[in-house]
A and B are shown apart, each in its own frame.
Chain A
C-alpha cells in the first residue's frame, strides 16, 4: 500500500494563477482532510470530507475549493493564488468504523510569488 500520496511535491505559482493539488489514498478510508502548515502555526484545517460526496469547511477555507472525486481522491483547488497561500499543504485520511487517528501524505510545498 502506498498510503496517502500527494502531487506535486513542489510548485511555484504567480499571483492570480490557479492550480489543483491532488491527494489519493489506497487504504479504503472514508474521511479525508486538507491542512496547511505555516511556520510557527502548526496545522490548520482547510476543508474535509467525511465521506464520498460530502465536503465541509474547516478553519481556513477562504480562497480554496475542494472536490471529493471518489472514495480514493480528494483534490484542493486554488482558483486565484495569492502570496498568503504560500504554505505546505498536507492531505490526511482516517479509517472508517470510528478510527480516530489520521494518516498523512508527504505534503506539497507551494510558493506564490
Chain B
C-alpha cells in the first residue's frame, strides 16, 4: 500500500512563481526523499531529509519534515518551465540490507512560460 500521499495531485503555476507540494505518510520513517519524473522518463533523485532533520536546502529546493505530523513539503522557488514534471515523495525504512522505498502517487507540476 502507498505510504506517502502527495497534495495537490496537480499544480499549475506561472514561471517565476514558487511551487509547494506536500506529502503525508503513515508510519515511522528513517528518511524521506523527493524524486522528479519528466514525462516518459525514469525518476531522478532530488533531495533526502533524515528523520532527525527538520529542513534541508538544495539550490532552489527547500524540503521540510515534521515527524510529529508525519508530513513533508517541497518548495521550488522561482520556478522555470523546465521544472514541469511529476514529483514524488518516498519514505525509506530502516531495514539495513532490506532497505526499501515506498512512493506516493505524485504531484504533477506544470510551469507555464
Contact = CB atoms under 8 A, between A and B. Distances in A.
Interface of A: 4, 30-31, 33, 35, 40-45, 48, 50-51, 56, 58-59, 90, 92, 94, 100-107
B42 A51 contact: no
A42 B1 contact: no
Interface residues of B, number: 25
Contacts of B45: 101-103
18 contacts: A30-B97, A35-B103, A42-B2, A45-B101, A48-B100, A50-B99, A56-B98, A90-B42, A90-B43, A94-B99, A100-B31, A100-B92, A101-B45, A104-B42, A104-B44, A106-B41, A107-B40, A107-B42
A103 B41 CA distance: 12
B103 A105 contact: no
Given A42-B2, A42-B88, A42-B106, A102 B42 contact: no
Interface of B: 1-2, 30-31, 33, 35, 40-45, 48, 88, 92, 97-106
B2 to A, nearest CB: 6
Q: Which of A43, A58, A90, A94 has the most CB of B within 10 A?
A: A43
B105 A40 contact: yes
A101 B33 contact: yes
B42 A100 contact: no
Contacts of B100: 33, 45, 48, 58
